[in-house]
Amino acid sequence: MKTIGRITKTYGFEGAVVVRGSGGFRGEPEQGEPVFVVTDGIPVPFFTREAYCTAPDTLIISFDDYLTAESVAHLRGCEVRAMGAEEPEDELKALAGFILTDSASGITGSIKEVVQNPGQLMAVAIIGGEEVLIPLHPDLVVSVDRRGRTIAMRLPEGLVSLND
């Protein structure tokens, strides 16, 4: 299970809550799919009646059998988790060995590892026999092909040659 955010408040009059996450949501829970609300340190399954994103870091979710704002008010501040194939750290480690290609310059390299710096993910890539740090920012990533193990990026001019 991975943490997707915290319940910050109730929403509307029909038992919905606002879940805020820091990393953005990769998908909304489907109707009937459980999410786990951690109460007293124990993840308790709540089945989704409806869920939708209103912003990249905000999810509105309502649960089966909770039909009023009062019925979910006690969940405020609780952590929300979802079943996921991989934890974020495992997902980042899985990028090692991918081939990184800059679509603007055509430069290619192999990702040696991914490191988490404060506020920024960085790929340590081997380009031209040297280690180069490449920011893994969503604005720079064009596409990720997990089957082909490639990442296409559009890097700013001169970024790869900063270490020269």
Reported as a pLDDT band with limits 50, 70 and 90, residue 71 is very high
Higher pLDDT, 144 or 27: 144
In the chain, CATH 2.40.30.60 covers 2-84
List, for residues 57-70, the tens digit of each pLDDT value: 889 999 999 999 99
| Helical H segments across the chain, by residue range | 69-72, 88-93
List, for residues 112-126, the tens digit of each pLDDT value: 998 877 767 888 999
In the chain, CATH 2.30.30.240 covers 90-163
Cβ partners under 8 Å of residue 68, min gap 6 = 13, 14, 15
Would you say domain 2-84 falls under CATH 2.40.30.60?
yes
pLDDT on residue 64? 92
For the four alpha carbons of 5, 68, 49 and 37, in that order, the dihedral sign comes to positive
Reported as a pLDDT band with limits 50, 70 and 90, residue 31 is confident
Specify the CATH superfamily of domain 90-163.
PRC-barrel domain (2.30.30.240)
What distance in Å separates the CA atoms of residue 19 and residue 2, rounded to the nearest whole number? 14
Phi and psi, residue 98, nearest 5°: -70, 150
The two structure tokens encoding residue 87: 């934890």
Mean pLDDT (the chain) is 84
pLDDT on residue 87? 45
